[in-house]
Chain A
Amino acid sequence: MSETSLTYKEFVLPASVVTKRDVSQLVNEAERVDSELTTATVRAHITTGVAVSPVFSGTFSDFLALNKLEFEESKARTALIKQLRLLKDNVPIIHLTFAVSADIESLQKLTAWFRQSVSPQVVLEVGLQPALVAGVYIRTTNHVHDLSLRAALAGKHDLLVKELEGLRSA
Protein backbone atom coordinates (compact mmCIF):
# COMPACT_ATOMS: atom_id res chain seq x y z
CA MET A 1 0.00 0.00 0.00
CA SER A 2 1.88 2.94 -1.32
CA GLU A 3 -0.64 5.49 0.09
CA THR A 4 0.27 4.76 3.68
CA SER A 5 3.63 6.37 3.07
CA LEU A 6 1.83 9.75 3.31
CA THR A 7 2.50 11.66 6.50
CA TYR A 8 -0.07 13.81 8.25
CA LYS A 9 1.59 16.95 6.86
CA GLU A 10 0.73 15.83 3.34
CA PHE A 11 -2.93 15.17 4.02
CA VAL A 12 -5.47 17.26 2.16
CA LEU A 13 -8.51 18.00 4.22
CA PRO A 14 -11.94 18.10 2.57
CA ALA A 15 -14.05 21.23 2.72
CA SER A 16 -16.45 19.61 5.15
CA VAL A 17 -13.67 19.36 7.73
CA VAL A 18 -13.80 22.81 9.19
CA THR A 19 -13.03 22.56 12.90
CA LYS A 20 -10.72 20.49 15.03
CA ARG A 21 -13.78 18.61 16.18
CA ASP A 22 -14.24 17.42 12.61
CA VAL A 23 -10.65 16.16 12.61
CA SER A 24 -11.36 14.31 15.84
CA GLN A 25 -14.42 12.75 14.24
CA LEU A 26 -12.21 11.57 11.36
CA VAL A 27 -9.94 9.87 13.87
CA ASN A 28 -12.85 8.33 15.74
CA GLU A 29 -14.42 7.07 12.55
CA ALA A 30 -11.14 5.59 11.34
CA GLU A 31 -10.76 3.74 14.65
CA ARG A 32 -14.35 2.57 14.58
CA VAL A 33 -14.16 1.29 11.02
CA ASP A 34 -10.81 -0.37 11.72
CA SER A 35 -12.36 -2.18 14.66
CA GLU A 36 -15.34 -3.27 12.58
CA LEU A 37 -13.15 -4.50 9.74
CA THR A 38 -10.91 -6.44 12.08
CA THR A 39 -13.93 -8.07 13.68
CA ALA A 40 -15.41 -8.86 10.29
CA THR A 41 -12.15 -10.40 9.11
CA VAL A 42 -12.00 -12.66 12.15
CA ARG A 43 -15.57 -13.74 11.64
CA ALA A 44 -14.92 -14.36 7.93
CA HIS A 45 -12.07 -16.72 8.86
CA ILE A 46 -14.26 -18.61 11.27
CA THR A 47 -17.38 -18.90 9.15
CA THR A 48 -15.58 -18.92 5.79
CA GLY A 49 -17.99 -16.29 4.66
CA VAL A 50 -17.53 -13.03 2.83
CA ALA A 51 -16.45 -10.00 4.87
CA VAL A 52 -18.88 -7.13 4.99
CA SER A 53 -17.61 -3.91 3.42
CA PRO A 54 -17.49 -1.00 5.89
CA VAL A 55 -19.80 2.02 5.77
CA PHE A 56 -18.07 5.44 5.72
CA SER A 57 -19.47 8.87 6.37
CA GLY A 58 -19.37 11.44 3.60
CA THR A 59 -16.54 13.38 5.23
CA PHE A 60 -14.40 10.31 5.72
CA SER A 61 -15.07 9.12 2.16
CA ASP A 62 -14.08 12.58 0.85
CA PHE A 63 -10.93 12.45 2.95
CA LEU A 64 -9.99 9.03 1.58
CA ALA A 65 -10.76 10.06 -1.99
CA LEU A 66 -8.89 13.36 -1.82
CA ASN A 67 -5.80 11.68 -0.48
CA LYS A 68 -6.20 8.53 -2.63
CA LEU A 69 -6.05 6.30 0.41
CA GLU A 70 -7.03 2.64 0.73
CA PHE A 71 -8.61 1.39 3.92
CA GLU A 72 -8.74 -2.35 3.23
CA GLU A 73 -5.50 -3.67 4.67
CA SER A 74 -4.99 -3.78 8.37
CA LYS A 75 -1.48 -2.34 8.30
CA ALA A 76 -2.60 0.55 6.14
CA ARG A 77 -5.45 1.31 8.55
CA THR A 78 -3.14 1.26 11.50
CA ALA A 79 -0.70 3.62 9.80
CA LEU A 80 -3.50 5.91 8.71
CA ILE A 81 -4.96 6.07 12.20
CA LYS A 82 -1.56 6.92 13.60
CA GLN A 83 -1.11 9.73 11.09
CA LEU A 84 -4.63 11.02 11.74
CA ARG A 85 -3.88 11.21 15.46
CA LEU A 86 -0.74 13.18 14.70
CA LEU A 87 -2.76 15.43 12.44
CA LYS A 88 -5.28 16.04 15.21
CA ASP A 89 -2.54 16.99 17.64
CA ASN A 90 -0.63 19.24 15.22
CA VAL A 91 -3.24 20.77 12.99
CA PRO A 92 -2.92 24.59 12.86
CA ILE A 93 -5.93 26.35 14.41
CA ILE A 94 -7.24 29.83 13.69
CA HIS A 95 -9.82 31.27 16.07
CA LEU A 96 -12.51 33.36 14.43
CA THR A 97 -15.03 35.39 16.41
CA PHE A 98 -18.02 36.79 14.57
CA ALA A 99 -20.72 39.26 15.57
CA VAL A 100 -23.43 36.92 14.30
CA SER A 101 -23.75 33.17 14.27
CA ALA A 102 -21.78 31.59 11.46
CA ASP A 103 -23.48 29.32 8.90
CA ILE A 104 -21.65 26.28 7.59
CA GLU A 105 -21.42 27.52 4.00
CA SER A 106 -19.65 30.72 5.02
CA LEU A 107 -17.35 28.74 7.29
CA GLN A 108 -16.49 26.36 4.46
CA LYS A 109 -15.72 29.30 2.18
CA LEU A 110 -13.51 30.87 4.82
CA THR A 111 -11.83 27.52 5.45
CA ALA A 112 -11.16 27.16 1.76
CA TRP A 113 -9.66 30.63 1.64
CA PHE A 114 -7.43 29.94 4.67
CA ARG A 115 -6.26 26.59 3.22
CA GLN A 116 -5.53 28.20 -0.11
CA SER A 117 -3.92 31.36 1.21
CA VAL A 118 -2.45 30.54 4.62
CA SER A 119 -1.98 26.84 5.23
CA PRO A 120 -3.51 23.78 3.53
CA GLN A 121 -4.42 22.07 6.81
CA VAL A 122 -5.88 24.97 8.71
CA VAL A 123 -8.96 24.33 10.84
CA LEU A 124 -11.12 26.93 12.51
CA GLU A 125 -12.46 27.53 16.02
CA VAL A 126 -15.53 29.71 15.82
CA GLY A 127 -16.83 32.08 18.52
CA LEU A 128 -19.65 34.60 18.83
CA GLN A 129 -19.37 38.17 20.16
CA PRO A 130 -22.27 40.49 19.21
CA ALA A 131 -20.36 43.54 20.45
CA LEU A 132 -18.18 43.29 17.38
CA VAL A 133 -21.20 44.52 15.36
CA ALA A 134 -19.77 43.24 12.09
CA GLY A 135 -16.54 41.82 10.71
CA VAL A 136 -14.37 39.24 12.40
CA TYR A 137 -11.91 39.00 15.26
CA ILE A 138 -9.06 36.64 14.33
CA ARG A 139 -6.62 35.03 16.70
CA THR A 140 -3.74 33.04 15.25
CA THR A 141 -0.99 31.34 17.17
CA ASN A 142 0.78 34.50 18.24
CA HIS A 143 -1.29 37.41 16.96
CA VAL A 144 -4.77 38.87 16.96
CA HIS A 145 -6.33 40.75 14.06
CA ASP A 146 -9.36 42.81 15.00
CA LEU A 147 -11.15 43.23 11.68
CA SER A 148 -14.46 44.13 13.32
CA LEU A 149 -16.58 47.22 12.69
CA ARG A 150 -16.28 48.15 16.33
CA ALA A 151 -12.51 48.43 15.98
CA ALA A 152 -12.88 50.40 12.78
CA LEU A 153 -15.22 52.92 14.43
CA ALA A 154 -13.04 53.16 17.52
CA GLY A 155 -10.10 54.07 15.35
CA LYS A 156 -12.07 56.79 13.64
CA HIS A 157 -13.55 58.34 16.79
CA ASP A 158 -11.35 61.44 16.68
CA LEU A 159 -12.23 61.98 13.05
CA LEU A 160 -15.94 61.88 13.90
CA VAL A 161 -15.50 64.38 16.73
CA LYS A 162 -13.60 66.69 14.45
CA GLU A 163 -16.33 66.55 11.85
CA LEU A 164 -18.95 67.31 14.51
CA GLU A 165 -16.95 70.31 15.66
CA GLY A 166 -16.84 71.47 12.07
CA LEU A 167 -20.59 71.09 11.82
CA ARG A 168 -21.11 73.08 15.05
CA SER A 169 -18.82 75.89 13.91
CA ALA A 170 -20.64 76.09 10.62
Chain B
Amino acid sequence: MGLFHKQSDDKRTGDNPLAEATDQQKRFFDDYFREELRNHGRWYFDKVIKENGDLFKKDLEAVIAQVNTDLKEHVSRQLDGAIAHINATLKDHVTRQMDVQFAEYSKTMQEAQDAALKNMTDGSNELRDQYHELSSLLKDNIAEQNAMMHKAFEEHKAQLQSMDEAQSASLTALNQSTEKLQSQYQQIGQMLDTQVTEQRDQIVKAFEDNMARTVEHYILGALGDQYDLKAQLPAIVKQLEDNKQAMVDDITL
Protein backbone atom coordinates (compact mmCIF):
# COMPACT_ATOMS: atom_id res chain seq x y z
CA MET B 1 0.00 0.00 0.00
CA GLY B 2 2.91 2.32 0.77
CA LEU B 3 4.41 1.80 -2.74
CA PHE B 4 1.20 2.97 -4.39
CA HIS B 5 0.32 5.50 -1.86
CA LYS B 6 0.00 9.02 -3.31
CA GLN B 7 0.62 7.71 -6.98
CA SER B 8 -1.64 10.33 -8.47
CA ASP B 9 0.71 13.04 -7.17
CA ASP B 10 3.76 11.62 -9.17
CA LYS B 11 2.51 13.19 -12.42
CA ARG B 12 2.63 16.62 -10.89
CA THR B 13 6.32 16.33 -9.62
CA GLY B 14 7.99 14.86 -12.79
CA ASP B 15 9.98 17.99 -13.47
CA ASN B 16 12.53 17.80 -10.56
CA PRO B 17 14.16 14.34 -10.21
CA LEU B 18 15.83 15.07 -6.86
CA ALA B 19 12.72 16.41 -5.54
CA GLU B 20 10.99 13.61 -7.20
CA ALA B 21 13.48 11.13 -5.65
CA THR B 22 13.15 12.83 -2.36
CA ASP B 23 9.48 12.77 -2.76
CA GLN B 24 9.62 9.16 -3.86
CA GLN B 25 11.77 8.39 -0.89
CA LYS B 26 9.32 10.11 1.39
CA ARG B 27 6.47 8.29 -0.21
CA PHE B 28 8.35 5.01 -0.03
CA PHE B 29 9.32 5.43 3.60
CA ASP B 30 6.00 6.62 4.80
CA ASP B 31 4.63 5.93 8.30
CA TYR B 32 3.02 2.78 7.23
CA PHE B 33 6.18 1.33 5.83
CA ARG B 34 8.09 2.34 8.89
CA GLU B 35 5.51 0.70 11.05
CA GLU B 36 5.88 -2.45 9.01
CA LEU B 37 9.63 -2.28 9.44
CA ARG B 38 9.27 -1.76 13.18
CA ASN B 39 6.93 -4.70 13.46
CA HIS B 40 9.32 -6.83 11.45
CA GLY B 41 12.23 -5.66 13.56
CA ARG B 42 10.26 -6.26 16.73
CA TRP B 43 9.40 -9.77 15.57
CA TYR B 44 13.00 -10.51 14.59
CA PHE B 45 14.27 -9.12 17.87
CA ASP B 46 11.83 -11.25 19.80
CA LYS B 47 12.92 -14.29 17.87
CA VAL B 48 16.60 -13.61 18.49
CA ILE B 49 15.95 -12.88 22.13
CA LYS B 50 13.96 -16.08 22.50
CA GLU B 51 16.64 -18.20 20.81
CA ASN B 52 19.37 -16.60 22.86
CA GLY B 53 17.23 -17.04 26.00
CA ASP B 54 16.82 -20.70 25.31
CA LEU B 55 20.53 -21.12 24.70
CA PHE B 56 21.28 -19.09 27.78
CA LYS B 57 18.84 -21.15 29.78
CA LYS B 58 20.44 -24.37 28.64
CA ASP B 59 23.91 -23.04 29.37
CA LEU B 60 22.74 -21.76 32.73
CA GLU B 61 21.21 -25.08 33.64
CA ALA B 62 24.40 -26.87 32.61
CA VAL B 63 26.46 -24.43 34.64
CA ILE B 64 24.16 -24.78 37.63
CA ALA B 65 24.38 -28.57 37.42
CA GLN B 66 28.16 -28.36 37.19
CA VAL B 67 28.24 -25.93 40.08
CA ASN B 68 25.98 -28.16 42.13
CA THR B 69 28.20 -31.13 41.52
CA ASP B 70 31.33 -29.23 42.34
CA LEU B 71 29.74 -27.64 45.38
CA LYS B 72 28.51 -30.99 46.64
CA GLU B 73 31.96 -32.48 46.26
CA HIS B 74 33.53 -29.52 47.95
CA VAL B 75 31.06 -29.52 50.81
CA SER B 76 31.53 -33.28 51.23
CA ARG B 77 35.25 -32.88 51.44
CA GLN B 78 34.93 -30.01 53.87
CA LEU B 79 32.40 -31.90 56.01
CA ASP B 80 34.53 -35.03 56.06
CA GLY B 81 37.49 -33.03 57.21
CA ALA B 82 35.48 -31.17 59.82
CA ILE B 83 33.85 -34.32 61.11
CA ALA B 84 37.18 -36.10 61.33
CA HIS B 85 38.59 -33.14 63.20
CA ILE B 86 35.60 -32.94 65.51
CA ASN B 87 35.71 -36.66 66.13
CA ALA B 88 39.32 -36.52 67.11
CA THR B 89 38.74 -33.53 69.38
CA LEU B 90 35.62 -35.05 70.94
CA LYS B 91 37.34 -38.35 71.51
CA ASP B 92 40.18 -36.67 73.32
CA HIS B 93 37.77 -34.60 75.40
CA VAL B 94 35.57 -37.54 76.33
CA THR B 95 38.59 -39.63 77.15
CA ARG B 96 39.89 -36.98 79.47
CA GLN B 97 36.49 -36.50 81.10
CA MET B 98 36.01 -40.22 81.60
CA ASP B 99 39.44 -40.56 83.07
CA VAL B 100 38.62 -37.84 85.54
CA GLN B 101 35.24 -39.40 86.38
CA PHE B 102 36.75 -42.84 86.78
CA ALA B 103 39.33 -41.45 89.12
CA GLU B 104 36.64 -39.77 91.22
CA TYR B 105 34.49 -42.89 91.24
CA SER B 106 37.43 -45.06 92.27
CA LYS B 107 38.22 -42.72 95.08
CA THR B 108 34.60 -42.65 96.27
CA MET B 109 34.30 -46.44 96.05
CA GLN B 110 37.43 -46.87 98.04
CA GLU B 111 36.09 -44.54 100.71
CA ALA B 112 32.74 -46.37 100.80
CA GLN B 113 34.46 -49.73 101.08
CA ASP B 114 36.56 -48.45 103.92
CA ALA B 115 33.45 -47.09 105.71
CA ALA B 116 31.51 -50.35 105.19
CA LEU B 117 34.41 -52.41 106.42
CA LYS B 118 34.66 -50.24 109.48
CA ASN B 119 30.89 -50.58 110.13
CA MET B 120 30.99 -54.34 109.72
CA THR B 121 33.88 -54.58 112.13
CA ASP B 122 31.99 -52.47 114.66
CA GLY B 123 28.79 -54.55 114.20
CA SER B 124 30.71 -57.76 114.62
CA ASN B 125 32.18 -56.54 117.83
CA GLU B 126 28.79 -55.40 119.06
CA LEU B 127 27.19 -58.75 118.15
CA ARG B 128 29.93 -60.58 120.01
CA ASP B 129 29.24 -58.51 123.08
CA GLN B 130 25.49 -59.11 122.80
CA TYR B 131 26.05 -62.81 122.35
CA HIS B 132 28.06 -62.90 125.58
CA GLU B 133 25.32 -60.93 127.37
CA LEU B 134 22.55 -63.19 126.04
CA SER B 135 24.47 -66.31 127.01
CA SER B 136 24.81 -65.17 130.55
CA LEU B 137 21.15 -64.08 130.60
CA LEU B 138 20.01 -67.45 129.23
CA LYS B 139 21.95 -69.30 131.86
CA ASP B 140 20.32 -67.19 134.53
CA ASN B 141 16.85 -67.79 133.02
CA ILE B 142 17.38 -71.53 132.81
CA ALA B 143 18.41 -71.69 136.42
CA GLU B 144 15.37 -69.61 137.40
CA GLN B 145 13.01 -71.77 135.29
CA ASN B 146 14.47 -74.87 136.82
CA ALA B 147 13.74 -73.57 140.29
CA MET B 148 10.18 -72.57 139.29
CA MET B 149 9.48 -75.95 137.71
CA HIS B 150 10.72 -77.72 140.77
CA LYS B 151 8.49 -75.55 142.92
CA ALA B 152 5.46 -76.10 140.61
CA PHE B 153 6.08 -79.83 140.62
CA GLU B 154 5.98 -79.85 144.37
CA GLU B 155 2.76 -77.80 144.37
CA HIS B 156 1.12 -80.06 141.79
CA LYS B 157 2.11 -83.07 143.78
CA ALA B 158 0.34 -81.63 146.81
CA GLN B 159 -2.71 -80.76 144.68
CA LEU B 160 -2.85 -84.26 143.25
CA GLN B 161 -2.77 -85.68 146.73
CA SER B 162 -5.64 -83.38 147.76
CA MET B 163 -7.54 -84.34 144.57
CA ASP B 164 -7.18 -87.98 145.45
CA GLU B 165 -8.65 -87.27 148.82
CA ALA B 166 -11.49 -85.23 147.27
CA GLN B 167 -12.14 -87.99 144.76
CA SER B 168 -12.44 -90.51 147.55
CA ALA B 169 -14.89 -88.22 149.33
CA SER B 170 -16.85 -87.70 146.09
CA LEU B 171 -17.01 -91.42 145.52
CA THR B 172 -18.42 -91.89 148.97
CA ALA B 173 -20.97 -89.11 148.40
CA LEU B 174 -21.82 -90.60 145.00
CA ASN B 175 -22.53 -93.96 146.56
CA GLN B 176 -24.77 -92.29 149.09
CA SER B 177 -26.53 -90.35 146.30
CA THR B 178 -27.01 -93.56 144.36
CA GLU B 179 -28.69 -95.14 147.32
CA LYS B 180 -30.90 -92.04 147.71
CA LEU B 181 -31.70 -92.07 144.01
CA GLN B 182 -32.62 -95.71 144.24
CA SER B 183 -35.07 -94.98 147.00
CA GLN B 184 -36.42 -91.90 145.14
CA TYR B 185 -36.79 -94.00 142.03
CA GLN B 186 -38.89 -96.48 143.94
CA GLN B 187 -41.00 -93.64 145.35
CA ILE B 188 -41.42 -92.09 141.90
CA GLY B 189 -42.42 -95.46 140.51
CA GLN B 190 -45.08 -95.78 143.16
CA MET B 191 -46.26 -92.19 142.49
CA LEU B 192 -46.28 -92.87 138.78
CA ASP B 193 -48.41 -95.96 139.26
CA THR B 194 -50.81 -93.95 141.37
CA GLN B 195 -50.97 -91.14 138.81
CA VAL B 196 -51.44 -93.59 135.95
CA THR B 197 -54.35 -95.10 137.79
CA GLU B 198 -55.82 -91.65 138.41
CA GLN B 199 -55.27 -90.63 134.79
CA ARG B 200 -56.96 -93.80 133.64
CA ASP B 201 -59.93 -93.10 135.86
CA GLN B 202 -60.09 -89.51 134.56
CA ILE B 203 -59.88 -90.69 130.98
CA VAL B 204 -62.62 -93.22 131.59
CA LYS B 205 -64.72 -90.50 133.17
CA ALA B 206 -64.09 -88.15 130.26
CA PHE B 207 -64.94 -90.97 127.92
CA GLU B 208 -68.20 -91.50 129.73
CA ASP B 209 -68.99 -87.80 129.54
CA ASN B 210 -68.15 -87.71 125.86
CA MET B 211 -70.10 -90.89 125.34
CA ALA B 212 -73.08 -89.19 126.92
CA ARG B 213 -72.65 -86.25 124.59
CA THR B 214 -72.24 -88.62 121.68
CA VAL B 215 -75.42 -90.42 122.60
CA GLU B 216 -77.18 -87.09 122.97
CA HIS B 217 -75.89 -85.92 119.63
CA TYR B 218 -77.00 -89.14 118.01
CA ILE B 219 -80.43 -88.84 119.52
CA LEU B 220 -80.71 -85.21 118.47
CA GLY B 221 -79.61 -86.03 114.96
CA ALA B 222 -81.89 -89.03 114.72
CA LEU B 223 -84.96 -87.28 116.04
CA GLY B 224 -84.40 -83.96 114.30
CA ASP B 225 -85.02 -85.34 110.86
CA GLN B 226 -87.89 -87.58 111.80
CA TYR B 227 -90.54 -85.26 113.21
CA ASP B 228 -92.27 -82.46 111.39
CA LEU B 229 -94.38 -79.90 113.19
CA LYS B 230 -97.62 -81.83 112.73
CA ALA B 231 -96.10 -84.85 114.42
CA GLN B 232 -94.76 -82.69 117.22
CA LEU B 233 -97.99 -80.72 117.66
CA PRO B 234 -99.67 -82.96 120.27
CA ALA B 235 -96.53 -83.00 122.41
CA ILE B 236 -96.13 -79.22 122.00
CA VAL B 237 -99.75 -78.61 122.98
CA LYS B 238 -99.27 -80.85 126.00
CA GLN B 239 -96.23 -78.86 127.07
CA LEU B 240 -98.13 -75.64 126.40
CA GLU B 241 -100.86 -76.86 128.69
CA ASP B 242 -98.26 -77.44 131.39
CA ASN B 243 -96.96 -73.86 131.00
CA LYS B 244 -100.30 -72.22 130.23
CA GLN B 245 -100.71 -70.40 133.48
CA ALA B 246 -97.27 -68.81 133.32
CA MET B 247 -97.98 -67.51 129.83
CA VAL B 248 -101.41 -66.21 130.81
CA ASP B 249 -99.87 -64.35 133.72
CA ASP B 250 -97.18 -62.89 131.49
CA ILE B 251 -99.61 -61.78 128.76
CA THR B 252 -102.13 -60.27 131.17
CA LEU B 253 -99.44 -58.56 133.20
Contact = CB atoms under 8 A, between A and B. Distances in A.
Interface of B: 204, 208-209, 211-213, 215-216, 219-220, 223-224, 227-230, 232-233, 235-237, 239-241, 243-244, 246-248, 250-253
Interface residues of A, number: 39
A15 interface: no
Interface in A49-99: 92, 94, 98-99
A143 B4 CA distance: 176
Interface string A94-111: 100011111101100110
B212 A157 contact: yes
Contacts of A94: 247, 251
Contacts of A100: 227-229, 232
Given A145-B247, A157-B213, A164-B211, 20 more contacts: A100-B227, A105-B230, A109-B237, A110-B236, A117-B248, A118-B247, A118-B251, A122-B251, A134-B224, A138-B243, A138-B247, A140-B251, A141-B251, A143-B246, A143-B247, A145-B243, A145-B246, A149-B220, A161-B209, A168-B208
B239 to A, nearest CB: 4
Contact of B220 (A92, A103, A143, A150): A150
Contacts of B236: 110, 135-136, 147
A164 B208 contact: yes
Contact of A161 (B208, B227, B235, B247): B208
Contacts of A92: 251
B221 to A, nearest CB: 8
A60 B204 CA distance: 64
A94 B248 CA distance: 11
6 contacts: A100-B232, A135-B232, A135-B235, A140-B247, A153-B220, A164-B215
Interface string A127-154: 0001001111010111101010110010
A149 B209 CA distance: 19
